[in-house]
Every structure is written in C-alpha cells, then in structure tokens.
Structure 1
C-alpha cells in the first residue's frame, strides 16, 4: 500500500531530528599541526587519547592531523590554519606563532614540563647494508665520493638538526668553530638534492635509491626498515644533537572554538605513562625515566648536546645560521663557486 505524503513527510522530519541529535551529541574536533615524520605516532596516540577522554570526560573527541616540513607547517598556522595544538621538533617554529600573529603567549614554553617538550629524539645516520662507504661519524659524510641525503634546513627542522648536529659534534670533539663550519660545508657539498621535509628525504634515499647515507631522526629508522626492507643499517655518531619536541595549544584558536579544555588535556596526556608508552613504541625517546628504562634496548646510549649548550638557544641559532644571509646561506653560496 503506497505511503501517504504525510507519512513520508513525518519520516523525513524524524530522520532530520535524529541527524540533528547525533550532531549535537558529537564531540569537538581538534586539529594537530605537526612536522613531517610524526604521522604514525600521532595516529596511534590520538586513538589512545580519544579512548581515555571518552572514559574520563564522557565525551567523544576527534583529532585530525596535518603534517609537513616543520617551518612550513608553523607558517601555515601563523597565516591562518586553525590548529588547536601545534607539535613541533624545535621551539623556534612555535615562537613564530607569537612573533608573527600573537596566537600564543611569549612564555608558552613554561606551561608544561621540560620546556613543554614531552619527548626527544636524536639525529642518526642511515647507510646501505654492509655500510660500503664505511661511514662511522659526521666527518665521513664530508669525504669525497660520499653522497648524503638531508632535507632542506630552510624548510625542515630535520635539516636544521642535521646541520647543527654535525657542527656541534665538531665542537664537542674539540675542533674550532671554523673547522666545524668547514665540515658542515663539505657535508652539504655532498647533498645531491634538498627535499622539503624529512619524509621526502626518506623517499629519495630509500625508494629512489639516491645517496650513500640519509640523516634522519632515530624514530624514522624502524619505519624505513618496515616499509622499504632491511637493506639499511643505522649508525650512531659519537656525538649528536638532542632534538626536543615542544608542543603548545594555539590560544586564540582554542578560545575561539571553545576547545581549550580538550586541547590542554590532549597535550598533558603526552606526559602520562600511557602517552609516553606510545612514544616509546614509535622509537621516540620518552622523558619518563620509568618508560625509558622499560624500552632501554630500543634507545642506545649516545653522547648528546642541546641547541642551548652549543648554539645559545634556537633564536640565536636561527639568526646566526638559518635566517636569510646567515651562515647556512653563506656555506651554500661558497659551495656553488
């Protein structure tokens, strides 16, 4: 028997009401803008946090991710991309949210422990199986006949850490600043292509088979081995830079959207045992001594230094080395002569 127009209308109204009720019950959506090589970590972390939030706050929360070269990502937020949180691998990229757009307070790094850096990593050297070029330390990347893949320090935190790792290792080994600069110059003279971010550099090395070595974060190594096979070996140099991974809520965005409570909880949970466990499983070094001890076999001991120790902090390092006309540009220009 055909339905009357009135019953059809009632069903349509009921469906609309049910859809509206479902939308009303849906929880907030957060956007985490992050750097290039954290996709897999945050995919897993988001699921763990969402479950925790549902159990403790009785609210569903959806977390979306955006990834790319760290500096490009930070500029996108400063220019209007509405990130609830930004999770970077250097403080300098977060500082610009204050300097360019006043989206966060100047003292944002004081809001959470360890200068708002819940995790760390180190820069390591990935070589082809058997290490045919016998690469053992940063100096070997500057030898004639060695080709090394490094992302562009102008666009990538990974690239900047590589530059500072090689320079700082020279200083820790007792060489002069001029000798450290010369080493960095030789290394970058051996770079055949400067990719925009760490993941693109990985593709160049592992998939396109370009280069004898790739400098990347320690956390990338298991992903590379899992995706591209076991035809690579990791080299831990005698000294390397400690990459600290800072995070912050983007105040003007969360206050506009009404998501401050969820965004702050999302970042605080990174410091919890559960959050630190997710980081450790992704070979990102946890700050928690307990969790680090549990996963000690995954994190070989290596001599590290910080950007503050050798370079006077990220602001000074950026100004001296990476701003237009800085030492990195001078090195690149000299290599082209």
Structure 2
C-alpha cells in the first residue's frame, strides 16, 4: 500500500508555469515547449498521449524538438489559474463552463467550439459508482445511495467538475425518476447528500480517499476513473456499479490563443489538440475507459464501454452559465441541499 501511495502522489505533481516558447537552439533546430493545463483525472491519459503526439509531431516536422509539460488539479481551479495568468498553451478541461470562463477573459477564441470536431470534445465519460468488493451494501442505482448509514465519498461540487457532474447526475436522475417533480427531486438529493462522508478537492483525491484510505462505502465518480481504480489502484478491492440512467460528461479542449500568439506556439498547440481525434489517440482514450467521440472507435470498444442511457446537462439544466448560477453559486441549490440538519 505504501508503494501505491507513493506512485499516486508522484502522479499528483503539477507542472510548472515556464518561459518556454518556440525558438531555435545553437544548432539551428527549433525548440517548442507547450504547457497543457488540465483536470486531475486526465493525468493518466495525457501521460501516455504526450509521447505519442511528440513522436507524431517530430515525424511531421523534422528538425523540431517539442516537449509537453502538464498541470493537473480540479478543473475549475485550473481554469481560474489560466484566467489569472498561468501561461497555458492549451486548456483541456472536463466542463464547458471552464473554457467559457477563458473565453470571457479573452484567453481563447469566441469560436473555440468550432475549432475541432464534436464541439471540441474529443471524448466523454459518465458518472458511475465504485463500491467495495462484492458490493456489501447492495447498491444498484441512485436511490440506494440514500439508505441510512451509508457513507459516500465524492469530489466537491463547489470546486471540481467531477463533483458537479456527480451532483447533476443525481439531480437529473431525480427529475427523470419523479417525472420532473422538483420537490421530490430535492428531497431525494438532500437525503443522498446527508450520506456524504467526505467532499474531496478533486476526482483523483476522492479515489485515493476511497481506495487507499479505505473511507466510505461508495465513491461517486467518472466511469474512466472507476475503471482505473478497479483495474489498477484498487484491483481486487472494488467493483463498479452502472446506474440505469446517468449524466454524460464532456471534456472540451481549446488553444489559449492569448498565450500561444505571443509565444509563437499557436500552430503546434493546434496540432496537439487536433491529434486527439486521431485513431491512435481515440483508442488510447478507450483503453483508459474514456468514451471516444469517433463513433467507429467507440463501437470497436463496446465490450469495455457498454451502452448506457445518459443525458447532457445542457439539455436538462440549460447553459453552463445557468447551471453554475442556479446550482453552484453562493446560496445556490447545492448549498441549499447540502446542509445536514442536526435534527
């Protein structure tokens, strides 16, 4: 367990803001350094994607040396860091509002959704439940998460995309199950939140708390994170439960043009993101239990990514601006429902 803890801690190191830019060394070869600011659960994907892209880029651009640095953390915190000046070349987030924030701040182009296929979403995921081996609490769906005495671990919806998707997944299920009855939905979600033992500051931190610290009966998190825990971090210790109805999480990407135009890295940053739709990158996503946006690759991996009935948060709750204002602003619906009354 100590070795595992050390390895996960090493994964958690964030990349640093640097002065790297496109330039030439003394021998005349071009040197390019990109910083990808991303959300914490994406670290496993980009750890393997970066060397894949570097090999591809060098084959297309002989004489050019390119390197990629990473920064990982809660998606919204990361977006705020970029908005406040972190010199990211690209932003790869797990919530549309995080890119929209950068658009509002003039960091990315207004047409960022049109820059790449699928509204600039190379892959998606969904919210599932990670439970202890053999599912001793017999959790089968969302309503089982309200049973008395159950202990839930999840990321904090106030600061992380992972937590917001988990909360919206529960709320969307309530609307679906109770025929859009808001009062019954709020009562259901309130009962669920009363069982939350720990709100972590990121998706990977929540996984560590559940798997390594052995806290809680169930972890509400992304499908890809659950599969990585079940096959690596917590192999033999946990099982995955797929609810009948859940939320689709989208992971949008964008070039931070305010940075790349000054550094001279816009072309390289664009190629870096465009390659996410290549077959090797899409298959890598599937191998890590992310759902590829390229349908042919998704279909080829249906054994590990079974069909599941999902809803888009924007179709149910409106724009991300509306979602953030209604649910996650100070005094919003989450704050209202998350208060555990003493009596």
What TM-score results when the alignment is normalised by the length of structure 2? Answer: 0.89
Name the counterpart of 2:130. Answer: 126
CA deviation string 1:245-270 (max 9, x = no partner): 10000010000110000000011111
Matches within 5 A, 1:238-317: 238-317=244-323
How far apart are 1:336 and its partner, in Å?
6.0
Unaligned regions of 5+ residues in structure 2, if any?
Answer: 1-23
How far apart are 1:46 and its partner, in Å?
0.7
Q: Could you tell me how far apart the structure 1 residues matched to 2:339 and 2:130 are?
A: 27
CA deviation string 1:262-307 (max 9, x = no partner): 0000111111112211111111100111111211101011110001
Name the counterpart of 1:137. Answer: 141
How far apart are 1:78 and its partner, in Å?
0.5
Q: Secondary structure at the match of 1:205?
A: helix
Q: Secondary structure at the match of 1:192?
A: strand
How far apart are 1:103 and its partner, in Å?
1.0
In the alignment, which of 216, 224, 231 is matched to residue 237 of structure 2?
A: 231
Residue 32 of structure 1 contacts residue 64 of structure 1 at CA under 8 Å; is this kept in 2? yes
Structure holding more helix per residue: 1
In the alignment, which of 36, 43, 66 is matched to residue 39 of structure 1?
A: 43
Residue 149 of structure 1 contacts residue 215 of structure 1 at CA under 8 Å; is this kept in 2? yes
How far apart are 1:332 and its partner, in Å?
2.2
How far apart are 1:189 and its partner, in Å?
1.1
Q: Secondary structure at the match of 1:304?
A: strand
Q: Could you tell me how far apart the structure 2 residues matched to 1:291 and 1:336 are?
A: 50
Q: Could you tell me how far apart the structure 2 residues matched to 1:251 and 1:55 are?
A: 25
Q: Could you tell me how far apart the structure 1 residues matched to 2:87 and 2:68 are?
A: 13
1:92 paired to 2:97: yes
Matches within 5 A, 1:164-183: 164-175=168-179, 176-183=181-188
Name the counterpart of 1:16. Answer: none
Count of aligned positions: 317
How far apart are 1:335 and its partner, in Å?
4.2
Name the counterpart of 1:330. Answer: 336
In the alignment, which of 75, 80, 84 is matched to residue 79 of structure 1?
A: 84
Q: Could you tell me how far apart the structure 2 residues matched to 1:295 and 1:335 are?
A: 45
Residue 185 of structure 1 contacts residue 335 of structure 1 at CA under 8 Å; is this kept in 2? no
Q: Could you tell me how far apart the structure 2 residues matched to 1:268 and 1:177 are?
A: 41
Q: Secondary structure at the match of 1:229?
A: coil
CA deviation string 1:54-90 (max 9, x = no partner): 1112222101111011111111111110000000111
Unaligned regions of 5+ residues in structure 1, if any?
Answer: 1-18
Name the counterpart of 2:13. Answer: none
